[in-house]
Structure 1
Amino acid sequence: MKVLSLLFLVVLVLATITTSTLGQGTRVGFYTTSCPRVEAIVQAVVQSAEQSTPGVPAGLVRMFFHDCFVNGCDASILINAPNSENTAPPNSLLRGYEIVNAAKTQLEIECPGVVSCADILAIAARDSVLLAGGIARWNVPTGRRDGLVSRDTDTTNLPGFNDTVDVQIRKFAEKGLNTQDLVALSGSHTLGTSACQLFSYRLYNYNNTNGPDPSIDPSFLPTLRDQCPNGGDGLRRVVLDTGSQNTFDTSYFANLRSGRGVLESDQLLWGNPTTRNFAERFLGLPGLVGLTFNVEFARSMVRMGNVEVLTGTQGEIRRVCSAFN
């Protein structure tokens, strides 16, 4: 009964949060009359992708994050062209483009010229969390328009895999997001994988010490080295949340506590007292005022989803997500 009560409380809180949430011109139910089946269509496409290629939809959360941090949530990351955002090093390893494109194809048949690619990506990111067992179903405010610019040079301020906590906090603050948002959204790394090239430097010659990053749990080091041999395939993928990579839960934070964060930027969150406080509260550690990770993650996703959005007559509604009209 206690579990059922908790689930009911989470759903109730989320409903209260998101049904009244208004962004910069976005609102819940934007397509109620113009394309009422939009969410059902996107969810079906994401679910089908998960069944055919397990784990790939998890990349949609990361893609949404990378889109919103560069000129706002305008689907500019989806443009497939020379020197576009998705050609930049921070984005070149992202996966899931085909899922958004497939949803767009179906929606153009259902209600042509109505649903933006930016909204499809926002909805699909939410649905990928639901498929991974996240109980935090949140209503996604929609009404975004697609951007008209996509440049690789605009990606320089994306949060990086080796950013210090101070740099991470600054980059989030520049987008109107606070430190709790930073820790909550970093929790999306409970899903998905990373390429060896983004963290193998921690395993062999960290800061030119000819040894590993001392923050790595010594018992975990052989596992990472086995998966990412020195001088090996940098594109080989390793799960970010050891032992729970396909389930949306708080084990990511438990791994940080144990020195098992794969990316340096993640592990540093535990080493900093300010960010560790939020991680500890998400874990519900004794003596702290707890935070429900699912609820706070949903809040942060809604806030991030309204970063610098285009609405009204701004931008366009693309016919295909990979190219400007």
Structure 2
Amino acid sequence: MEKRTRTLSVAISSLFMFSFVCFVKGSLSFNFYAASCPSAELIIRDTVSSFSSTDPSIPGKLLRLVFHDCFVEGCDASLMLQGNNTEQSDPGNRSVGGFSVIDSAKRVLEKFCPGTVSCADIIAMAARDAVEIAGGPRIMIPTGRRDGMVSLASNVRPNIVDTSFSMDEMVQLFASKGLSLLDLVVLSGAHTIGTAHCSSFRDRFEEDSRGKLMLADKTLDSDYAKVLMEECPSGVQPSVKVNNDPQTSLVFDNMYYQNLLAHKGLFQSDSVLISNDSTRILVEDFANDQDLFFQNWAQSFLKLTSVGVKSGDVGEIRISCASTNA
């Protein structure tokens, strides 16, 4: 069974790579800034590294940022735009961080290569670098994304994963972005780093008559549940967070999948991955083989950062990531 599953994963990945190369040829390209801004990738990596050295939570924030940007309007930095009723206004985005890293890299790039590197490319490359800095694989991604000019709070809720989603709801949303069941399992591995507010998994518990929390979701490991209830008791401040991964919270590894099999997935949307036969097999494969996870991560991340990209004459290259040029 294990050999058959890995063969299937490799076959799907190979088919994807052929399709992706064809796609890239028409819009994005590798080394897009080789002539116009040869130091672009180094500047972005140095910025991410500098911020991460003083704040170890930065990689997780940047990874979450790229997800929330690409799933709404495509990978076009629409999440960076500020103002009334923009994407940042939606409650689901108020806890997204890492904006200062993107803005800092953009300021440096504007000094060396004015009006050349898009905020959308900075977000994608910063997330890519964040994964490597946290211990994950180093991968190449194509560039040439342009920045969008539309950012509406009303577009957020229908396009991002809620932590209480069922398997069917997640599959449907990922499919709408051109992402497969394999991509869903692989990209869920992003939860191997980062933090979450207590409210994001509150639905897995209930209060008794005395206001004390009790475990409602019996799929969650009882000992892990006790730890969560201690860290997030009833009436806890909204700002309190816990680690997505209770084992190696700052390291991008395959521990997320091992936690799932031990019934220690933080969100309901994590736990459902082992309640489905097709996804459980993949979870087991990645839990047993970190290299396999990393190989698949590289390909699924390429697909994620290519969702709805704008290129050519569509969009613009913003001077400031917080506002359009007009």
Q: TM-score, normalised by structure 1?
A: 0.89
- Of 258, 261, 278, the match for 1:257: 261
Which structure has greater helix proportion? 2
* 1:114 alignment partner, SS class: coil
Q: CA deviation at 1:204?
A: 2.4
Q: Which residue of 2 aligns with 1:32?
A: 34
Q: Which residue of 2 aligns with 1:10?
A: none
* Alpha-carbon contact 2:219-2:263 (below 8 Å) kept: yes
Residues 221-236 of structure 1: matches in 2 within 5 Å?
221-236=225-240
Distance 2:214 2:224 in 1: 18
Residue by residue, what CA displacement relative to the aligned partner does 1:123-170 show, whole Å, maximum 9, x if unpaired?
000000011011x21111100000010000001221111110110000
Pairing 1:62–2:64 present? yes
Pairing 1:311–2:311 present? yes
User: Once structures 1 and 2 are overlaid, which stretch shifts more, 181-190 or 262-271?
Assistant: 262-271
Q: Which residue of 1 aligns with 2:322?
A: 322
* 1:119 alignment partner, SS class: helix
Distance 1:159 1:228 in 2: 22
Distance 1:86 1:58 in 2: 18
Q: Which residue of 2 aligns with 1:266?
A: 270
* Alpha-carbon contact 1:79-1:322 (below 8 Å) kept: yes
Distance 2:170 2:324 in 1: 31
Q: CA deviation at 1:203?
A: 2.4
Q: CA deviation at 1:241?
A: 0.6
Q: How many residues matched?
A: 304
User: Once structures 1 and 2 are overlaid, which stretch shifts more, 266-275 or 293-302?
Assistant: 266-275
Q: Which residue of 2 aligns with 1:144?
A: 145
Percent of pairs with identical residues: 38
* 1:219 alignment partner, SS class: helix
Residue by residue, what CA displacement relative to the aligned partner does 1:275-311 show, whole Å, maximum 9, x if unpaired?
21211111238xxxx9710111110110111111100
Residue by residue, what CA displacement relative to the aligned partner does 1:245-284 show, whole Å, maximum 9, x if unpaired?
1111110011111111111111111122222121111123
* Alpha-carbon contact 1:205-1:212 (below 8 Å) kept: no
Residues 68-83 of structure 1: matches in 2 within 5 Å?
68-83=70-85
* 2:148 alignment partner, SS class: coil
Residues 110-129 of structure 1: matches in 2 within 5 Å?
110-129=112-131
User: Once structures 1 and 2 are overlaid, which stretch shifts more, 240-249 or 264-273?
Assistant: 264-273
Q: Name structure 2 gaps, 5 residues minimum.
A: 1-12
Residue by residue, what CA displacement relative to the aligned partner does 1:179-236 show, whole Å, maximum 9, x if unpaired?
0000100000001000001112312259xx9642101101111100010001211321
Pairing 1:278–2:282 present? yes
* Alpha-carbon contact 2:141-2:302 (below 8 Å) kept: yes
* Alpha-carbon contact 2:205-2:214 (below 8 Å) kept: no
Letter in 2 for 1:253: Y
Pairing 1:45–2:47 present? yes
Q: Which residue of 1 aligns with 2:4?
A: none
Q: Name structure 1 gaps, 5 residues minimum.
A: 1-12
* 1:194 alignment partner, SS class: strand
Q: CA deviation at 1:171?
A: 0.3
Residue by residue, what CA displacement relative to the aligned partner does 1:96-148 show, whole Å, maximum 9, x if unpaired?
000000000000001000000000000000000011011x2111110000001
Residue by residue, what CA displacement relative to the aligned partner does 1:1-40 show, whole Å, maximum 9, x if unpaired?
xxxxxxxxxxxx99xx699575350011100000000000
Q: TM-score, normalised by structure 2?
A: 0.89
1:210–1:247 Cα change, 3 Å: closer
* Alpha-carbon contact 1:75-1:117 (below 8 Å) kept: yes
* Alpha-carbon contact 2:248-2:255 (below 8 Å) kept: yes
1:22–1:41 Cα change, 3 Å: farther
* Alpha-carbon contact 1:49-1:57 (below 8 Å) kept: no
Q: Which residue of 2 aligns with 1:155?
A: 156
1:275–1:205 Cα change, 3 Å: farther
Q: Which residue of 2 aligns with 1:296?
A: 296
After superposition, the CA RMSD in angstroms is: 2.1
1:93–1:39 Cα change, 3 Å: same
Distance 1:255 1:40 in 2: 34
What stretches of structure 1 move > 4 A for 4+ residues in a row? 17-22
